[in-house]
Amino acid sequence: MIWGIEFSNGDLATKIARHLFNQGMIIETCGNEEQVIKLLPPLTISEENLVRGLNMISDTVLHFNTTKSHFYILNYISSLII
């Protein structure tokens, strides 16, 4: 399972990826401007770990960017958690 979250620019995606990596999440960016965060959870991930990881991403996005332009990302992550 491979998913991606595209941000408005590579600087924001890199900050978010670096913060998540420092919290123990294996994550990287891609895209022509490194503006996409790749999500590659193992196919055997438990629901508990998936929810924990998605919550980490959601919290980090809020930490670095509280503008409404990224509200759709948080809605999308929330829909995956439910």
Q: Which CATH number does the domain 3-81 belong to among 1.10.4190.10, 3.90.1150.10, 1.10.1330.10, 3.40.50.720?
A: 3.90.1150.10
pLDDT in tens, 7-29: 888 999 999 999 999 999 999 99
**What's the mean per-residue pLDDT of the chain?**
83
The C-alpha atoms of residue 74 and residue 54 are separated, in whole angstroms, by 10
- Indicate if the alpha-carbon torsion angle 82, 37, 48, 20 is positive or negative: negative
Q: Which residue has the tokens 């960016």?
A: 29
Mean pLDDT of each 10-residue bin along the chain, 82 residues long: 85 94 94 92 90 89 68 62 55
